Amino acid sequence: DGGITQSPKYLFRKEGQNVTLSCEQNLNHDAMYWYRQDPGQGLRLIYYSQIVNDFQKGDIAEGYSVSREKKESFPLTVTSAQKNPTAFYLCASSIFYQSYNEQFFGPGTRLTVL
Amino acid sequence: GENVEQHPSTLSVQEGDSAVIKCTYSDSASNYFPWYKQELGKGPQLIIDIRSNVGEKKDQRIAVTLNKTAKHFSLHITETQPEDSAVYFCAASSMYSGGGADGLTFGKGTHLIIQP
């Protein structure tokens, strides 16, 4: 089955630690995205990547970093510089060559800072 | 940048009745408007979308309308069923004719509750 996988489903982190969230897709999509979801806030864009080895900051990139070394993978690192990292993180992907932006989401990772 | 407002934040309807969720957007360049449904603990799933060259689109019990002049679009669900209970998000984006990806700007979501 084609789709997007995120791991782990739940993640706990101590303050001051960096943590990396995994996102893999086998849909052969060029574009990938990371969103953060907080209660009552909707989804906010952290980073996106249109193609391998390229990525752009979204609306709330501070305290986060990404890499896109492979088409299938777009890991997100939550650094110690992120002041309030506890949230639900969603990864998504979309076809690049078509001129619309239908996005397919993974199941999410819930990060809790202890 | 784009700003999307979504109302109401919570909507409770009787099973079998209709539900309407409304969104407004600020950027006149936005031309793609998807709606996502998110069930508890899961990622959002696209249920319907509309592009700015049409005013209405239907898919069985779900329909979306778009008023470009007023910059608002709405989701209509008829004959609601218990499985329609979820959080619904509207979003807006600009599609580029030459291809290209950009992040969607989402509304804050509507928690739809279907009362039995």
Give the bridge partners for B37, in sequence order. Answer: B45, B88
B30 interaction partners in chain A (CB closer than 8 Å):
none
B103 interaction partners in chain A (CB closer than 8 Å):
33, 35, 45, 48, 58-59
Looking at chain A, the whole-number percentage of residues with pLDDT higher than 90 is: 70
Under an 8 A CB cutoff, do B99 and A94 touch? no
Give the model's pLDDT for residue A40. Answer: 81
| Alpha helix stretches (DSSP H) within A1-114 | none
Cα B55 from Cα B95, distance rounded (Å): 17
B54 has a pLDDT exceeding 80: yes
Contact A78, A63 (CB under 8 A): yes
A97 has a pLDDT exceeding 60: no
Under an 8 A CB cutoff, do B103 and A99 touch? no
- A45–B contact, CB cutoff 8 A: yes
- On the 0-12 / 13-18 / 19+ scale of CB atoms within 10 A, B83 is exposed
The residue whose two tokens read 């509207």 is B90
Looking at chain B, the whole-number percentage of residues with pLDDT higher than 70 is: 92
The three-state secondary structure class of A83 is: coil
Cα B111 from Cα B93, distance rounded (Å): 22
**pLDDT tens readout for residues B8-33:** 999 999 999 999 999 999 988 888 89
Looking at chain B, the whole-number percentage of residues with pLDDT higher than 90 is: 74
Under an 8 A CB cutoff, do A104 and B106 touch? no
A108 interaction partners in chain B (CB closer than 8 Å):
41-43
More confident site: A50 or A89: A89
Pick the closest to residue B6 from B29, B19, B24 (CA basis). Answer: B24
The predicted model gives A10-39 an average pLDDT of 93
The predicted model gives A36-58 an average pLDDT of 90
